[in-house]
Chains A and B, each alone.
Chain A
Amino acid sequence: MKEKIYKWAFTVLAFSSLLFLTGITIILFKESLPLFQKVKFFDFIFGKAWYPTYEPPEFGILPLISASVLVTIGALFVCVPLGIGSALYLHELAGPKQKAILKPTIEILASIPSIVFGFFAMAVMAPFLQRLLHIPVGLCAFTASVILGIMAVPTVCSIAEDALSYVPKSFKEASLAVGANRWQTLTRVVIPAAGSGISTAIILGMSRAIGETMTVLMAAGGAAIIPNKLSDLFAPVRPMTATIAAEMGEAAMGSFHYHALFAIGLTLFFITFIFNIIAELISRKFRLKLGLSG
């Protein structure tokens, strides 16, 4: 009898939390659909102008999507070499003592809140870069990319290091035994074997960068223009997440602007969803290849 009550209670609690989690998808759809009575889906995604408060308003999110993509790609240029490089260092060069300190330190640094990075970008980095590079505004796509990249480094580094540590020792020993040096072993045996694990790390870092809100809201400047030349890297941009965060406060509840912001949220939801599915598929393949379970 008691057993049955426990089982029943757990089932109810479990399903209520699942209900909340499916609720997210439902609510996002429900709140964004009213927009599409007014704006066509195609015009929403590919529209070149985002003027939600003009009369008549325009709801094209291409400038916002391209800003997100630009900032994310910029962040990758920072976090991939640094993240993978430091993971390889931890794996191959750091002695046991060094590793025992560095690995937890990096894991702890991974938990620095994004607002702190945004604040640092605004208070220290932007004025510094503005003077250093002689650019008109310090808060621009470039600053946002650099700080986002730095922010994602600890994540990329610890996932990539985990992937490297799953590569069986026999791989490395076999390579060294036939006369390859350590660098050759690392680049031609260990990295290819851990390749999919490392790509998972990169994709998760990317997914973190594209979904990051406070950092880009504070560091990217906030102009809704489509970046189309290289110098636009130093112009202010407004990625999707920053748009939602900045404009939700002023959008009247139930207005088209309000629904448009939910539609941006839905778009983001799908983008990160696709990234995560890809990461999951790759990491599953990786585990199969190395003969790990689960």
Chain B
Amino acid sequence: MSGKEQFASIKTSYSIEKAFNCITKIESPQKKSNGKFIQKIGFFLLGLSMIIVLVFLGSIVYFIVTKGMRAISWEFLTQVPKSAMTKGGVAPAIVGTLYLTLGSMVFAIPLGLACAIYLCEYSPKNVVVNIIRISINNLAGVPSVVFGLFGLALFVKFFGFGVSILSGSLTLGILVLPSIISAAQESLLAVPHSLREASLALGATHWQTIKKIVLPTALPGILTGVILSIGRVAGETAPILFTAATFYMRGYPKSVFSEVMALPYHIYALMTEGTHPEAQTQIAYGCALLLLILVLSVSSVAIVIRQKTKISA
């Protein structure tokens, strides 16, 4: 018997044993009807939890869409804030969020891809690489506020970039670096070895193989990871609290060293600072809707790409 068959037979005997154990507990017909009753209740509870989840998340989206719609107008999208944040628009915050997202990606995509390519294609396969992989996974789970502290100490203070677009972009870039690396690594590892070997056997060099065979095959997976992290960066607030964001600007940022308004931070500031809570909450609804549209449409694109590649694979 080959190892695989042996394993399959162990697996089957394991499941039969499990099932048998479970059946021997059911003896009388009375218990059997009980079982049916319990099944009904169980399935009802599962359905109920799905409904509760959808209702809750749906109502969050519903509240923000209906109330946010009232705040959004052409003026809201294109004007700077006026009269102590109670009138005017949030254009600088929209622009700021775009700058920060763009900046962080310019930094994180090349570094993350290079790191993943190195770990999968060039580095020797040993314990060290394994440790690196595990630590990258772990860093993906570190709270975003801790990344904010790191950005404050390193970029704002030590490098002297101050509270600026540059510091904020770098901090956000490092925040998503681990997720980009592990997404890219996963899709590179999923490329079959036979493809690489075929390319090398035809006389292609190592780099040609990577560029023309491995990367195109892994592209959908990498793209999904990158797009999901764009959505994440656009909505992150904690890392830019002390590295980039400011509540109020009269105009638009002038250079990478200026402070910047950002949609997520603007929502927070509108809810916790200022003196006109009613008018500010209205604007915050508008900002929340803009952010929701931005993030959900970005992540929908990513999920659609993932779904399509799943089907074709």
Contacts and interface: CB of A to CB of B under 8 A. Distances in A.
Contact of A123 (B43, B153, B189, B281): B281
A116 B64 contact: yes
B149 A13 contact: no
B216 interface: no
Contacts of A213: 143-145, 237-238
Interface string A170-191: 1110111111111111111100
A109 to B, nearest CB: 5
B170 to A, nearest CB: 9
B209 to A, nearest CB: 11
Given A18-B115, A21-B139, A253-B157, A268 B39 contact: no
Contact of A115 (B14, B19, B122, B237): B237
Given A168-B11, A214-B268, A18 B145 contact: no
Given A114-B237, A185-B19, A272-B142, A109 B177 contact: no
A28 interface: yes
Contacts, number: 302
Nearest to B18: A189
B35 interface: yes
Interface in A21-66: 21, 23-24, 27-28, 30-31
A119 B138 contact: no
A265 B145 contact: yes
Given A181-B35, A218-B268, A241-B143, A17 B153 contact: no
Interface in A61-114: 81-86, 88-90, 92-94, 102, 104, 106-109, 111-114
B67 to A, nearest CB: 8
Nearest to A178: B19
Given A21-B177, A119-B288, A265-B146, A177 B19 contact: yes
> Most chain-A Cβ atoms within 10 A of its Cβ — which of B132, B154, B267, B291?
B267
Contacts of A140: none
A261 B45 CA distance: 44
B111 A93 contact: no
The prevalent SS among residues of A at the interface is helix
Interface residues on B, range: 35 or more
A183 B35 contact: yes
B53 interface: yes
B50 A28 contact: no
Given A245-B241, A273-B138, A104 B57 contact: no
B174 A20 contact: yes
B47 to A, nearest CB: 6
Contact of B122 (A10, A118, A182, A212): A10
A119 B284 CA distance: 8
A244 interface: yes
Nearest to A274: B138
Interface residues on A, range: 35 or more
Given A211-B143, A261-B149, A7 B122 contact: yes
B242 A249 contact: yes
Given A89-B49, A113-B291, A28 B284 contact: no
A159 interface: no
B271 A218 contact: yes
B46 interface: yes
Interface in B273-288: 281, 284-285, 288
Contacts of B284: 119, 123
A199 interface: no
B228 interface: yes
Given A10-B122, A20-B177, A85-B49, A122 B271 contact: yes
Contacts of B142: 24, 211, 269, 272-273
A2 B22 CA distance: 64
Given A21-B135, A120-B64, A189 B291 contact: no
Contacts of A13: 110-111, 114-115, 118
A43 B265 CA distance: 34
Given A10-B118, A182-B39, A86 B181 contact: no
Interface stretch (B73-81, B251-259, B299-307): B299-307
A218 B35 CA distance: 46
> Most chain-B Cβ atoms within 10 A of its Cβ — which of A27, A115, A177, A186?
A115
> Most chain-A Cβ atoms within 10 A of its Cβ — which of B48, B57, B146, B300?
B146
A92 B46 contact: yes
Contacts of B50: 85-86, 89-90, 94, 102
Contacts of A185: 19, 22
A117 interface: yes
B60 A117 contact: yes
Contacts of B47: 89, 93
Given A104-B307, A183-B43, A174 B16 contact: yes
B272 to A, nearest CB: 7
Interface in B75-111: 110-111
Contact of A118 (B7, B61, B149, B268): B268
> Most chain-B Cβ atoms within 10 A of its Cβ — which of A28, A108, A150, A185?
A108
A245 B264 CA distance: 14
For the complex of A and B, the 9 pairs showing the least CB-CB separation, nearest first, are: A113-B235, A85-B49, A211-B143, A183-B39, A13-B114, A14-B118, A175-B19, A111-B299, A174-B15
14 contacts: A14-B114, A14-B123, A20-B111, A20-B174, A27-B154, A108-B300, A112-B61, A116-B235, A119-B288, A120-B64, A183-B42, A188-B21, A262-B153, A272-B143
